[in-house]
Amino acid sequence: MTDRPFVELLNAQVGNELAAHNQYVACAAYYDGQTMPRMAAFFYAQAQEERDHAMMMLQYLLDTDATVRIPAVPAPAADFADVVAPVELALAQERRVTQQINELLRTAREESDYASEQFLQWFIKEQVEEVATMGALLAVVSRNRDAVDNIEEYVARESGSEGGDAGAPPVAGA
C-alpha cells in the first residue's frame, strides 16, 4: 500500500529542509572562512531553523501515524564567487521552499486533509518572513560587497533575540 500524495510530499519536504540545513551550514562555513563572524552566526542560526522545520514535519508525520521516510539529500554548494553569492543562493532556496510548501497546501486541500492544511499555515507565514529577510539581506550585501564591515554591522543590528514562536509546531526530539 502506498502513502497518499500529501504524506509522500511531506516526507520529501523533510529532505528538502535537511538539504537547506546543510546548505546554510556551508554558507556559514564560507563566511567563517572570510572572517565574517556575524554572517556566519546568521547562517548557522538559519541552518538550525531549517533542521527544526524538518523535525516539525517529522513529528507531524509521527503524530498522524504516517510512514516516515527520510530521503537522501544532495551535497550543498560550498564554493562561492564572493560574499554576495551565498545570499543569492539562500534567497533562491527560500523561494523554492515557498513553492514546495504551497504545493503541500494544495495537495492537503485536494485530499480534504484539514489537519494538514492547518499544520501548514505556520510554514506559509514562516516563508513570507524568510523570503523577506533574505531579500533585504541580499540588497545590503549587494550594495556593500566591498565593505564587509557594513554587512557585519547590518546583521548585528538586525539580528535580535526573537525567541521562539509559541504557535510553531512541535519539534521532534525537543
Could you give the CA distance from residue 31 to residue 147 in angstroms, rounded to a whole number? 14
Q: What is the predicted pLDDT for the residue at 164?
A: 65
Q: Among candidates 58, 46, 29, which has minimal Cα distance to 130?
A: 46
Residue 90: inside a domain, yes or no? Answer: yes
Residue 172: inside a domain, yes or no? Answer: no
Half-sphere exposure of 169 toward its Cβ, with a 13 Å CA cutoff?
A: 27
User: pLDDT class for 168, splitting at 50, 70, 90?
Assistant: confident
Which CATH number does the domain housing residue 137 bear? 1.20.1260.10
Residue the block writes with cell 510554514: 123
User: Would the pLDDT of 166 be above 80?
Assistant: no
The verdict on pTM exceeding 0.75 is yes
User: Would the pLDDT of 1 be above 50?
Assistant: no
pLDDT by residue (tens digit) across 67-85?
Answer: 999 999 999 999 999 999 9
Q: Count of domains in the chain?
A: 1
pLDDT by residue (tens digit) across 91-142?
Answer: 999 999 999 999 999 999 999 999 999 999 999 999 999 999 999 999 999 9
Residue 165: inside a domain, yes or no? Answer: no
Q: Domain limits at 133?
A: 5-70+78-158
Q: What is the predicted pLDDT for the residue at 173?
A: 76
The residues near 96 (Cβ < 8 Å, ≥ 6 apart) are: none
Residue 171: inside a domain, yes or no? Answer: no
Residue 57: inside a domain, yes or no? Answer: yes
Residue 151: inside a domain, yes or no? Answer: yes
Q: What is the predicted pLDDT for the residue at 62?
A: 97
Grid cell listed for 109: 486541500
Percent of the chain at pLDDT > 70 equals: 95
Q: Are 63 and 172 in contact (CB under 8 A)?
A: no
Residue 168: inside a domain, yes or no? Answer: no
Residue 104: inside a domain, yes or no? Answer: yes
Q: What is the predicted pLDDT for the residue at 162?
A: 59
